[in-house]
Amino acid sequence: MSDPLKLSAMTRIRNYFLTGFIVCAPLAITVYIAWSFIGWVDSWVKPYIPARYSPDSYLPFPVPGLGLIVALVLITLIGFLTANIVGRAIVGFGERLLGRTPLVRGIYGSLKQIFQTVFAEKGNMFRQVGMVEYPRKDVWSLVFVAGEKETEIGHKLDKPGDPLIAVFMPCTPNPTTGFLMYVRRSEIVLLDMSIEDAAKLIVSAGLVAPAVKPKVMVDGKPVDVSNPQLAKASQPARSNLTASSRPNR
C-alpha cells in the first residue's frame, strides 16, 4: 500500500508545478514574442544607421531596441510631415504614381484600406460576436459580425426585411485566419460577449470561456447588473416598487 503522506506530498508538488507553469508560461511567451519583434525591427533599421551615430560602434555589446526606437521616431515624424499641406502633396503624388503602376496599385490600395479601417477612430471594425449554424444544423460556430453595408452581393441576393450581413468565422487556435461568409440577419444569434472574450475563447479552443453576465428585468427590459451605470439607474425603479408594495398601516 502506498504511503498517504508520500502521496499527499507528491500531489502538492504537482500542484505547485502546475501553478508555476500557469504563471511562467504566458510571461515567457510574451517576452519571447516581444524580444523577437524588437530583434526583427532592429535587423531592418540598424543597417541604415550611420556608424558614428550607432552606440554599437562604441560599446562592446549591441544595444537591443535601438532600431525600434528609431523606427518609432521616423514613423511619428512622417505622420507629422504628412499632416501639413506640403506633406499631403508629396503623399498624393506618390499615391498617384503607385496608382499607375500595374500589380502594385492593387496591393497598395487593398493594404491602405485595411489599415485605415483598423486604425481609424471611427473605423467599421467588427464590434459584435454572434453564432451561426455551421457546418450543419444544430452545430454552432462563433463569428465576428460586420456592420450592414450596401454591396453588390446584397443587391444580387436581396431579400426584403432580411438583408445579408458579412461575418468572419475565425479558425482555432489562430483567429487571424478563417472564412468570410454572408449570412441572413435572421440566422445570426448575437451574443453579449466582447470581441476580446471571443478571441480568447477561440485561441484556447473553448477552455477559457467568458463569465456569463447576470441580468435582471427592469420595466420588462433586461439590465446588465455588471454595468455600474445601468445598475445604478435601475435602483430608483426597484426602490419605488418596493415602497409601493408595502401595506399601509
Tell me the pLDDT tens digit for each residue of 235-247: 444 434 344 444 4
Average pLDDT for the chain: 78
Q: Which three cell numbers stand for residue 47?
A: 543597417
CA distance 116 to 200: 25
Residue 89 contacts by C-beta under 8 Å, 6 or more apart in sequence? none
Kindly report the length of the chain.
249
128-203 carries CATH number 1.10.760: no
User: How far is C-alpha 161 from the geometric centre of its chain's CA atoms?
Assistant: 31
Q: What is the mean pLDDT of residues 95-100?
A: 82
pLDDT at residue number 100: 82
Lowest mean pLDDT among 42-56, 63-77, 168-182, 211-225: 211-225
**Residue 246's pLDDT is what?**
45
**Higher confidence at residue 3 or residue 139?**
139
pLDDT number for residue 203 = 86
| 154 vs 165, higher pLDDT | 165
When pLDDT is cut at 50, 70 and 90, the band that residue 224 belongs to is low
| Model confidence band, residue 141 (pLDDT cutoffs 50, 70, 90) | very high
Per-residue pLDDT tens over the stretch 170-201: 988 888 789 999 988 899 999 988 888 888 88
- CA-to-CA distance for 83 and 95, rounded, in angstroms? 16
Longest distance between any two alpha carbons in the chain, whole Å: 91
Within the chain, all domains assigned CATH 2.30.30 are found at: 128-203
Grid coordinates in use for 63?
A: 544595444
Position 132 confidence tier, pLDDT thresholds 50, 70, 90: very high
The pLDDT confidence band at residue 46, using thresholds 50, 70 and 90, is confident
